[in-house]
Amino acid sequence: MASKKIRRHELILELVRERGGVSVGSLSEMLGVSMQTIRRDVDVLCDGKTLRRAHGRIELTAGHINTPFDQRAGTNLMGKRAIASVVASQIPNGATLFMSIGSTPLTVARALRYHKELTVITNNLSVAMALSEELSNRIILPGGELRLPDRDFVGEEVVSFFSRYRAEFAVFGTAGVAEDGRLLEFHEAEVRASEAMRLNAQRSILVIDGSKFGRLAPAAGAMISDVSEVICDVRPDPIFDPVVESVADRISFVGRTE
């Protein structure tokens, strides 16, 4: 039980860092526990120097505040750049591709900056901006409300948006990978968006760093074995050997090992 509580505290900290601030109700929904449990967790966490209660939600203290998406994009840069370089080498000029939300797909987009005549279908505004510098590219975005501070579009409209197109490639990340190989997200709509991309692309490429193996999230999506190719920086803990073996001919570990 103690280990579950420690892991839950780690997830709360990670979620607040990612999103800038999260309500108790949202934490309860995402982590699948009662609001009373979350309140007890928050009482403990707010006794430290990292989190505080403010404006009806849990936020980082002043000394730890940063733009959440920019903070996420700046973690494990070497690993993400290694992943992005491999993916970019596989995508030719003139390709049509889906690109998802997340910091690793954004790193892939930055690695594609010298490609030309791409058609990019994405709900990630940062991806769109990164690829808009090449004037021969065509960029297609969904309508709807922009989620801040992540600068992306989510919801059922996005699922419908991806379902209206077909692409040669789908480049997407995931919030976590379960011990059975199931891909996890924090919201069911994010699962459906990833599935729409995967199913409507000739080739799906999952881009993740090793930290995603074992990371918990409540919404379950496809199996990792449903993906055409997995590009990761480092091999995960041996407990995930069966998952790695299930995609043995389709997974690459591209990060530095020394």
pLDDT in tens, 211-220: 899 888 888 9
Q: Torsion angle of alpha carbons 17, 18, 21, 25, nearest 10°? A: -110
Distance in angstroms (rounded) separating the CA atoms of residues 88 and 91 = 5
CA dihedral 250, 95, 88, 240 (to 10 degrees): -30
Instruction: Note the pLDDT tens digit of each residue in 154-176.
Output: 878 898 999 999 999 999 999 89
Tell me which amino acid residue 117 is: E
Residue 258 in this model has a pLDDT that exceeds 50: no
Tokens coding 232: 């990761």
Mean pLDDT computed over 97-107: 93
**pLDDT over 90 for what percent of the chain?**
53
Neighbours of 238 (CB within 10 A): 8
Q: Is the pLDDT of residue 138 over 90?
A: yes
pLDDT given for residue 25 in this prediction: 86
Specify whether the CB–CB gap between 141 and 128 falls below 8 A: yes
What integer is the mean pLDDT of 221-245? Answer: 95
Report how far residue 31's alpha carbon sits from residue 40's, in angstroms, rounded to the nearest whole number. 14
Is residue 12 predicted with pLDDT exceeding 80? yes
Three-state SS at 213 = strand
Rounded Cα distance between 102 and 170, Å, is: 13
User: How many CB atoms are located within 10 Å of the residue 236 CB?
Assistant: 19
Is the pLDDT higher at 247 or at 56?
247
Decide: helix, strand or coil at residue 250.
coil
**Per-residue tokens: 67:** 């733009």
Between residues 62 and 240, the one the model is more confident about:
240
- pLDDT class of 92 with cuts at 50, 70, 90: very high
Predicted TM-score (pTM) of this structure? 0.74
Q: Report d(CA 171, CA 194) in Å as an integer.
A: 9
Q: Is residue 70's pLDDT more than 80? A: no
